[in-house]
Chains A and B, each alone.
Chain A
Amino acid sequence: MNKKDVIICRCEDVTLEELHNLMKEGYTSFEEIKRILRVGMGSCQGNTCGQLIQRELANFTNTPINKVVTHKVRPLFAGVKLKSIVKALDDES
């Protein structure tokens, strides 16, 4: 299998090769991988890549998939312009 051609995260264009290389370096938690590859931080917020990465981590670390912790979801869930937030504050006061 040509791992360069297998897309794991569509939002941030991350391949299986990049993911495997990082795991071999010792990054074996979703949170660590997220900080380096930006998986789960794009427009779908991990809905697509989440389960694929979970399975890869489960296989690599030999852990049952239900024990592999996925990433913490934080607000804001979609791109919000600062302008919009400022405008909302102005309307409130």
Chain B
Amino acid sequence: MKKIDLVIIGGGPAGLSAAKMAAESGLSSLIIERNFKIGGQLVKQTHMFFGSEKQYAKTRGIDIAKILVNDVLKYSDMIEIMTGTTVVGLYKDKVVTLLKDEKYIKVKTKAIIIATGASEKVLAFEKNDLPGIYGAGAVQTLMNVHGVLPGHNVVMVGSGNIGLIVSYQLIQAGVNVLCVLEASSEIGGYKVHASKLKRLGVDIKTSHSIKKAIGKDYLERIIIGKLDDKWEFIEGSEEELIVDALCISVGLSPLSNLLSMIGTEMKYVSYLGGLVPLIDENYETSIENVFVAGDVCGVEEASSAIVEGYLTGLVVAKKLGYIHPNYDKLYLDFKAQLHNLRSGPFGEKLRRGLEEIMR
């Protein structure tokens, strides 16, 4: 059995930052990444980030990914990276089982940081499985990673930041975005993203949703409708649109299945996107030496995931006896950064959600 002190599950912003900070403290780790390359969802995000300089604000997501990957590669003697590898089992005695190219591998570890991120939510409507219906994140991957257009005439469902940003990127790629639908009476994302779309003439229809998709072998048309204050379709408000792709962007839910598998205490918190683990102030779950970082314990921005990664990497290293020379200063700094990122009116629901999962 392979033995390593720290296993980090997920090679996105949280996992990479955790590995870097652990290595800086003197602790070696193994990063396990399901995708063929590390960087997480940042590798497809061509827009610039907000936040402060410490979380690489005003830098494009793809460039932040490069910075984080390079940081990790600098410690190639301490950080082992396994890509194309899926965690298939997690056990209470801290054995992690992996599958890589049909090879089943067992790893015994002392601490685990789960940084698996989140997955896209879906909607239930008629013919919701027709080819041409995508998650907005999937469309972003198709376009920005693989260079493939999802269609020529697209409708976006959901006006959160992902829906707004992907709509804008579709237009940049030459796609006609007919409209953005938003079930709520208000636009979900930041005004700056919504304004960019409005300037390009894209209609953001609030209190509207997708009613059904139509098509034989692939998506050909959709029926949309207006919603009343109980989110029921208003009769007679239906409208038919000719589209060849539909993007669903109705939020993310934390990928917390592995935590459920190992039996950590969990709670469903809608403000955080779904089922999340209870954590203490250092992101340790109810099982000792099992930590979480990033969207898996509440859906936020990549900037928060980076800082949570740094924080857990720092704390785990100390618990295993590797104390960073600047531990106290860094600890306070990471805590302050997280506090700042969650301040203001947009962070209110998040702050309430996080209060609910504190152990």
Do A and B come together as binding partners?
A: yes
Q: What residues make up the interface of A, taking CB atoms closer than 8 Å to B?
A: 1-2, 5-8, 10, 16, 45-48, 50-52, 65-68, 70, 72-78, 80-81, 83-85, 87-88, 92
B99 within 8 A of A: yes
Inside 8 A of A1's CB, which chain B residues have their CB?
125-126, 212
Knowing A46-B257, A72-B260, A78-B86, the reply to whether A7 touches B129 (Cβ < 8 A) is yes
- Interface size range on B against A: 35 or more
C-alpha spacing A1/B267, complex, angstroms: 33
C-alpha spacing A51/B255, complex, angstroms: 12
CB within 8 Å of A: which B139-159 residues: none
B260 touching A73, Cβ below 8 Å: yes
A-B contact pairs, 19 of them (CB 8 A): A5-B127, A7-B124, A7-B129, A47-B253, A51-B274, A65-B268, A66-B269, A66-B270, A73-B257, A75-B89, A77-B86, A80-B88, A81-B102, A83-B102, A84-B102, A85-B104, A88-B103, A88-B106, A92-B106
Cβ of B292 to closest chain A Cβ, rounded Å: 15
B255 touching A16, Cβ below 8 Å: no
Q: Which residue of B lies closest to A44 (CB)?
A: B119
Cβ of A84 to closest chain B Cβ, rounded Å: 4
B89 touching A65, Cβ below 8 Å: no
A65 touching B258, Cβ below 8 Å: no
B91 within 8 A of A: yes
Cβ of A59 to closest chain B Cβ, rounded Å: 11
B358 within 8 A of A: no
B275 within 8 A of A: yes
CB within 8 Å of A: which B76-117 residues: 86-91, 97, 99, 102-106
Tell which of B103, B122, B127, B257 touches A45, judged by Cβ atoms closer than 8 Å.
Answer: B257
B320 within 8 A of A: no
Q: Which of B102, B119, B126 has the most CB of A within 10 A?
A: B126
Cβ of A53 to closest chain B Cβ, rounded Å: 10
